[in-house]
Structure 1
Amino acid sequence: MKKQLLSILCLMLLLLPFGLKAQTVALATWNFTGVNSGPATLDADATGNQLASVPVLTRGATAAPNGVVNNSFRTTGFQNNGIAITNTDYFQFQVTPATNTTISLTNIIARFNGTATFFVSPGVESRFAYSKDGVNFTFFSAASTLVTATNTPYTFDLATTVPDDLKNIPAGTTITIRYYASGRTTTGGWGFFSNGTAGLTLNGTIATVGSVDTTPPTTTTGFPKSANITASSVDLVTNISEAGKTYY
């Protein structure tokens, strides 16, 4: 019996490092190809099973749809008045890790398009921000990225700028992400764009943790019991022969 228990214990120790497996994946992807009606919201195309629900791309109060524009998610609301957390001209989505899953954000890859005069040199100021409560937001980076080309993938690095409390985000925690922009005219249109490929992708590292059995152990009638009692010793007899239960 002792040898069997020892073997089981050794096997558990060997498997322990594999209980938490991390891998980098696309947490959410939007392909705007064929999106031609300037929708107010748009569900992500692909999320795998690492999120509790499908993220939805939405708009701030002053980032209304930019009419009928092919293959894009745009607005004329960004204008040229600078970027601030308090602005209501933004695009937004939320991610929540699924049960038994933690995520860490790696980067955001986005393609853009807009009115030609809106992104003339030096380009469109672009920044992403995050919130853990959906109310208080913080920019990922200290400065804006200047976007000067359309249908070109721009990578916004999050791995080196994200704070520790946004790494290993546990299941059930919702992170809200916003995109802010400011261009070169007051009326130009600007937003995410696709031409057969993804126009917005959130990448990250996921780790799947095995579920924990919280069912309390049960005992069999008559066990444990003592046997072979003498003046100097006693044997404690247990029954652990029935599969799926623990007796002590």
Structure 2
Amino acid sequence: MCSLPPYHLRHFTCDNTVAKGARWHTIKLQACPALTWNADADNHGRPQGEHEMELRGTLRDFSLEAILGLIRNGHKTGTLRLAVTTPVAMLRRVDLSFLGGEIASVQCGSLRGLDALREAAICVEGSFEFSVDSALSPQDETVPVAMEVALATIDEARNAMKSLGATLPAAGVAFSHAVPADDTIHISVEEFRLLAVTRDGMTLNDLIATNTAPTVDSMRIVRQLMERGLLVAGPAVPTVGQ
């Protein structure tokens, strides 16, 4: 159980040294002003109950994995809300519900489950807030995600994003259709779907916004279409004032 005094603790950082086989960060009281635990307390300086607990901060100061670990170790039931920005400067709102510290569901717009989690994983800018909600129950409609699967998904998405960011053009570069050198080209269903809605002059951000897949998947599909010779990148689109 978490026992906190009736004021805001604003000094948390995570220590990456953990026990062998563990994936959770150890919390230390150090300078990290953006993260706060809020608790309403009684006259004796003790919290009135876990339903009064609230966690908030920024992703610059606290990683997504550390947040998940803190909620799981506290066996909390409630909702984690992320207001974040992707590496290509697109705003996202991600909601994760928890039941007894375990992930009960994840939603980001039309994305659900692991797809929504992959969208959250690539974001390093933004804020988060966790509110305990006793109304959530096992009878609520949920799509549970095992914590080990969640952590592996986060790692995979970040590694993929790093690789894609190094090979794709900048977000302001316009794409156009191209005629491949080979007479016959085999493409996947996901490649066909994105190619079908692509118009000459669209930028990477346009293609991501048009596609229904997570950002990292949309970027992967764009790279595959470029490798197949079906899309070609042009010069960067000048911004206003240039």
Q: TM-score, normalised by structure 1?
A: 0.31
Q: Which has the higher contact order (CA 8 A, sep 6+)?
A: 1
Q: Which has the higher helix share?
A: 2
Q: Which has the higher strand share?
A: 1
